[in-house]
Amino acid sequence: MSDADIDPHGEVTVDRLALADEFAGAGAAGEGAVASADVAEYALRLGDDALVLAQQLGMWIARAPELEEDVALGNIALDLLGHARSLLHYAGTESGRSEDDLAYWRDEPDWRNAWIFEQPNGDFAHTIARQFFVATYLFELYGDLSSSTDPTLAAIAAKSMKEVDYHRDHATQWVLRLAGGTDESRRRMITAVADTWPYVDELFHDDELVERLASDGVAVLPSSLRERFDEIVDQVLAEAEIELPTGRTAFIASGGGRRGRHTEHLGPLLAEMQVLARQHPGASW
């Protein structure tokens, strides 16, 4: 290759500045569709789950145990951010708010993510335990949601499912490696599974909103995913020779994340994510 083949000026011309197109996110699916209030609330739940997790995984970049994991966790974070942007964009159509209005200008009680997503990264084993449970759940969820009667949700779910399949595979492999690696990694993996497990139950909790939407074939009833989730988790943990803690903690009696009640971890996460945008109200970036 000669120098003439590559433009050292990096192709910077004013009329070619449409980088947003290279990052399908907002508007990737269902351009023009407007969500009803119920659908918007449902999309917000799913979008917040994805965005909070993307934010957490982004913290690993340049801190991962090996370069391959900087790349892998970065990839997963990017996928989740893409899902979040599509879902928040759709959620915002009901009230005329943009994905950034929703991401940067809502306070804690307005966030709808489940608690497991806001639990801190911890050590690598905790990140992997969270990834394993969440990706297994999301894979089943998006699989079913891809036949939603709402075409926008169906399209987003179909795209997301393929990516979440990789996330699940990545996490499963690490659960097995850490459980079957050294004494230390096994001890850490067991602790991480035990610490994360209590947050799993909330993912499968039905409420009036999802029941209403599920009866129209728009949403997936979370409880309907539980059996398949347990089957996969049991299979992987059996191979890893890890036993689940007994008893499923149901401490979401307060309503949990879906009703805007959160653990202590969401506040600092949002403060960091929103700080710059809030210093410059009305600015465009």
Partner 1 sequence: MTSPADLSVVENEAGQALFDDLIAKDSRIEPRDWMPEAYRKTLIRQISQHAHSEIIGMQPESNWITRAPSLKRKAILMAKVQDEAGHGLYLYSAAQTLGITREEMMDQLIEGRARYSSIFNYTTPTWADMGAIGWLVDGAAICNQVPLCRASYGPYGRAMVRICKEESFHQRQGFEILLELMQGTEAQREMAQDAVNRWYWPSLMMFGPPDDQSPNSAQSMAWNIKRFSNDELRQRFVGMLVPQAEVLGVTLPDPALRFNEETGEYDMSEIDWTEFNEVLAGRGPANAERLRRRREAHENGAWVREAAHEYARKQAARAAAEVA
Binding site for partner 1 (CB under 8 A): 1-3, 6-12, 14, 16-17, 19-20, 22-23, 25-26, 51, 55, 58-59, 61-71, 74-75, 77-78, 81-82, 84-85, 88, 99-100, 103-104, 123-124, 176-178, 180-182, 184-185, 188, 272-273, 275-277, 280, 282-285
Give the nearer residue to partner 1 in terms of CB position, either 179 or 200: 179
Shortest distance in whole angstroms from residue 121 CB to partner 1? 11
Shortest distance in whole angstroms from residue 92 CB to partner 1? 12
Closest CA to 59 of 77, 38, 85: 77
Closest CA to 93 of 26, 18, 160: 26
Measured distance CA(130)–CA(171) in Å, rounded: 9
Give the nearer residue to partner 1 in terms of CB position, either 105 or 226: 105
Distances, alpha carbon 274 to alpha carbons 6, 50, 69, 108, 160, in Å: 39, 16, 26, 11, 25
Measured distance CA(150)–CA(217) in Å, rounded: 8
Distances, alpha carbon 120 to alpha carbons 8, 61, 117, 126, in Å: 42, 15, 8, 8
CB atoms near residue 36 (< 10 Å): 13
Measured distance CA(196)–CA(133) in Å, rounded: 8
Measured distance CA(108)–CA(267) in Å, rounded: 6
Give the nearer residue to partner 1 in terms of CB position, either 103 or 219: 103
Shortest distance in whole angstroms from residue 264 CB to partner 1? 18
Shortest distance in whole angstroms from residue 41 CB to partner 1? 20
Shortest distance in whole angstroms from residue 211 CB to partner 1? 31
Shortest distance in whole angstroms from residue 61 CB to partner 1? 5
Give the nearer residue to partner 1 in terms of CB position, either 105 or 223: 105
Give the nearer residue to partner 1 in terms of CB position, either 6 or 250: 6
Give the nearer residue to partner 1 in terms of CB position, either 112 or 198: 112
CB atoms near residue 208 (< 10 Å): 8
Give the nearer residue to partner 1 in terms of CB position, either 13 or 246: 13
Shortest distance in whole angstroms from residue 201 CB to partner 1? 28
